[in-house]
Amino acid sequence: MKQIQEEILKLVSLLNKYSYEYYVEDNPQITDTEYDTLYKQLEKLEEKYPELILENSPTQRVGDRVLDEFEKITHKIPMLSLSNTFSTEDLIDFDARVSKLVPSENVEYICELKIDGLAISINYDNGKLVSAATRGDGTVGEDVTENIKTIFSIPKVLKDKRSFEVRGEVYLPKKSFNILNKEREENNEVLFANPRNAAAGSLRQLDSKITAKRRLSAFIYSIVGDDSIVSQENALNTAKEYELPVNPNFKLCKSIDEVIDYINYWTEHKQDLPYDIDGIVIKVNSYKVQEQIGFTQKSPRWATAYKFPEEELATKLLDVELSVGRTGIITPVAILDPIVISGSTVSKASLHNKDIIDDLDIHIGDMVVVKKAGEIIPKVVRVVKELRTEGSTKYQMPSNCPSCHQETYVKDNDPFTRCKNPDCPDQNIRKIIHFASRDALNIEGLGDKVVATLYDKGIICHTIDLYSLDRDKLIALERMGEKSVDNLLNAIEKSKESSLDKVIYALGILNVGKKAGKILAEKYVNLSNFMNATLEELINLDDVGQITAESILDYLSDDNNIKFINDLINIGMNPQYEINEIKSNNIFSGKTVVLTGKLVELTRNEAKEFLEKNGAKVTGSVTSKTDLVIAGEKAGSKLTKAEQLGIEVINEEQFANMVREVE
């Protein structure tokens, strides 16, 4: 029994970790298939040993915690998840369970495409769109009303004054996804891994203007709170009548055999669609029969989701290609004999690092099995060792950097092979690209290709060379006219005015992101002070920690890095962090403040910037440590919690008066 208990504990811990990465961070680390396999394993153990079910087991709730960036909305009727099926046998078992629960009924099913997006609930009152929320944990979601209003396919006003709630899926069409990633690439921004992540990130933007630019779309799949609707088919047709977006590919099936035929068709034709689907949803059509069948604690018994299996194919591994990042990490990529997986040609696949290569026992010339993680990113999952030939060669990570040919090294307890040469060409190119990127110094016109060209032509060797570019040499380059050269030189000159936090981030220190850059700027005020940072100082800063502190000190212990910072100072880039003289009667100084609701006079970002400049710490959630809550229009659960805890609350007018007093 102890062994079973430990196995359940391990599964719960793993699944909760993966759920957090998927639902909260929008950064899934495993495929849906792998997650579902672990989930079913846990379900079987809990069914057999109900006395060992843990309170925090993912089977005991629908989703995971909600982000704090938005107000929260409680769903009047929970948005439950669906059980999953993966095979024809599973579907036949599902049909048998349904038939057993309603033996007197001739059950019909509605089949719908399972859109790979983000579940949403939208409320219409008197014909007007009044609120919208994400699924969240199934009970409480995030208020994304303003963002939903930016989606053209969703009507703000219905054709009559009907009141109901509709539920559906927000998604990013393939065309929109490609356009978005192309724009991000041109702006030196991190690309989205897949349309689902892009849709989730777009819908969770605090600025609805950004959401509007993302070209999201939606499909509605149910109507809640309308007693006149008697079936799922009726609900879909009613939604169409109200010009709500409904996927046209649903089908009424008279038997489970027809359901299986429908699934087989879309398994073969899913790549023809202009959007991603990851399965088929099967629901009992009649609402009356649905009610008779009922629910489990977490999902309806009358519905299930068939998940498409991830396609795996074997091909020959021709070679291993290496790339060097700005921090010196050397990443191996498998070069494959091209194959078509899930509708696209794959000629490369990730091998990640030395440990993965060793675990797979990779040999050049091996037949390897490749699949797309989440049907997006190709990766090698195993080697077909039975087909290995005698002439194959075991692959080992190089002892010399593929870019500069200097010796490589591996840190203790670290799977990554690194180049430590500060003059490594590939590292330098990546460092310059990072330095000029939008979140760093935002040097317009200095994209990846331009940097590579300047480096290859010997015009620049290090980042500091950007500030001594020769105009004539630039004009002599292909596709570099006088206007574009002047714009580039002006942008480089303008970058000298960048704020200290952006300059620190632009240095490219391992583990130092935008947030850490701001914290370090507040602490050290200028670059000269920053170069003298100590471990004790760093680890005592909020949100820095031991690992980041050690990364900073490693960077500052390198003479080349110190020279680079001094060179920046010498060309006039030594911004002083603005320290405001805070009045003794300033109510915001030293306070922990929460902003909630819609502000009219100021944007949320403007209010946050003002508060931070005047000594306040702005957080996203109300706790016992909160000193003050500023409540705008339609303040929700944060206001309620503040009142329950007895925390001081002021409205926007009172806040505006205080702003004027401080100024």
81 is in an annotated binding site: yes
**pLDDT score of 584:** 46
Q: How far is Cα 59 from Cα 40, in angstroms, rounded to an integer? A: 10
CB–CB of 188/252 below 8 Å?
A: no
609 is in an annotated binding site: no
Q: In this structure, are 229 and 101 located in the same domain? A: yes
Choice between 569 and 374, residue whose per-residue pLDDT is larger: 569
* Residue range 295-321: mean pLDDT, rounded: 87
Structure tokens at 597: 């609701």
**pLDDT score of 66:** 40
Judge whether 75 lies within some domain.
no
424 is in an annotated binding site: yes
Q: In this structure, are 28 and 87 located in the same domain? A: no
Q: How far is Cα 331 from Cα 350, in angstroms, rounded to an integer? A: 9
Q: How confident is the model at residue 581 (pLDDT cuts 50, 70, 90)?
A: very low
* Residue range 263-270: mean pLDDT, rounded: 91
10, 44, 76, 114: the active-site residue: 114
Question: DSSP assignment of 181-212, as one string?
Answer: HHHHHHTTPPPPSSHHHHHHHHHT-SSHHHHH
Judge whether 69 lies within some domain.
no
Q: How far is Cα 470 from Cα 54, in angstroms, rounded to an integer? A: 67
Q: How far is Cα 555 from Cα 420, in angstroms, rounded to an integer? A: 12
* Residue range 32-48: mean pLDDT, rounded: 81
Q: In this structure, are 289 and 324 located in the same domain? A: no
Per-residue pLDDT for 193 more than 70?
no
Q: In this structure, are 222 and 195 located in the same domain? A: yes
Q: In this structure, are 441 and 401 located in the same domain? A: no
Q: How confident is the model at residue 23 (pLDDT cuts 50, 70, 90)?
A: very low
* Residue range 218-235: mean pLDDT, rounded: 92
Q: How confident is the model at residue 582 (pLDDT cuts 50, 70, 90)?
A: very low
Judge whether 159 lies within some domain.
yes
Per-residue pLDDT for 159 more than 60?
yes
Residue linked to tokens 């981030």 = 505
Judge whether 292 lies within some domain.
yes
CATH code for the domain in which residue 439 is found: 1.10.150.20
Choice between 276 and 543, residue whose per-residue pLDDT is larger: 276
CB–CB of 67/142 below 8 Å?
A: yes
Phi, psi of 309 (to 5 degrees): -70, 145
Number of domains in the chain: 6
Average predicted confidence (pLDDT) for the chain: 85
Last residue of a domain, one of 377, 410, 443: 410
Judge whether 531 lies within some domain.
yes
Q: Where are the alpha helices (DSSP H) in 418-499?
A: 425-436, 448-456, 471-475, 482-494
Q: In this structure, are 90 and 54 located in the same domain? A: no
Structure tokens at 603: 């944007």
34 is in an annotated binding site: yes
**pLDDT score of 21:** 62
Q: How confident is the model at residue 337 (pLDDT cuts 50, 70, 90)?
A: very high
Judge whether 509 lies within some domain.
yes
* Residue range 432-449: mean pLDDT, rounded: 91
Q: In this structure, are 481 and 621 located in the same domain? A: no
Choice between 333 and 608, residue whose per-residue pLDDT is larger: 333
Collapsing DSSP to helix, strand or coil, 534 comes out as coil
Choice between 318 and 23, residue whose per-residue pLDDT is larger: 318
Last residue of a domain, one of 471, 496, 521: 496
Q: In this structure, are 99 and 191 located in the same domain? A: yes
Per-residue pLDDT for 67 more than 50?
no
Q: In this structure, are 282 and 321 located in the same domain? A: no
Q: In this structure, are 187 and 154 located in the same domain? A: yes
Q: How far is Cα 479 from Cα 472, in angstroms, rounded to an integer? A: 13
Q: How far is Cα 301 from Cα 307, in angstroms, rounded to an integer? A: 17
Choice between 373 and 140, residue whose per-residue pLDDT is larger: 140
**pLDDT score of 3:** 84
User: Domain range spanning residue 551?
Assistant: 500-571
Which has the closest alpha carbon to 146: 226, 75, 93, 202? Answer: 202
Q: How confident is the model at residue 26 (pLDDT cuts 50, 70, 90)?
A: very low
Last residue of a domain, one of 264, 280, 307: 307
Judge whether 585 lies within some domain.
no
Judge whether 300 lies within some domain.
yes
623 is in an annotated binding site: no
* Residue range 256-262: mean pLDDT, rounded: 95
Per-residue pLDDT for 580 more than 70?
no
36 is in an annotated binding site: yes
Per-residue pLDDT for 202 more than 90?
no
Query: Any idea of the CA torsion for 66, 67, 68, 72, to the nearest 10 degrees?
Result: -40
Q: In this structure, are 94 and 196 located in the same domain? A: yes
* Residue range 407-428: mean pLDDT, rounded: 87
401 is in an annotated binding site: yes
Q: Where are the alpha helices (DSSP H) in 74-132?
A: 88-101
Told to judge if 420 belongs to the known catalytic residues of this protein, a careful annotator would answer no
Structure tokens at 237: 């047709």
CATH code for the domain in which residue 654 is found: 3.40.50.10190
Which has the closest alpha carbon to 611: 597, 625, 631, 595? Answer: 595
118 is in an annotated binding site: no
Q: Which residues fall within 8 angstroms of residue 429, CB to CB, at 6 or more apart?
A: 451, 452, 455
Q: In this structure, are 210 and 300 located in the same domain? A: yes
Per-residue pLDDT for 68 more than 70?
no
CATH code for the domain in which residue 340 is found: 2.40.50.140
146 is in an annotated binding site: no
Q: How far is Cα 244 from Cα 156, in angstroms, rounded to an integer? A: 10
Per-residue pLDDT for 61 more than 90?
no
Q: How far is Cα 368 from Cα 375, in angstroms, rounded to an integer? A: 17
CATH code for the domain in which residue 40 is found: 1.10.287.610
**pLDDT score of 455:** 93
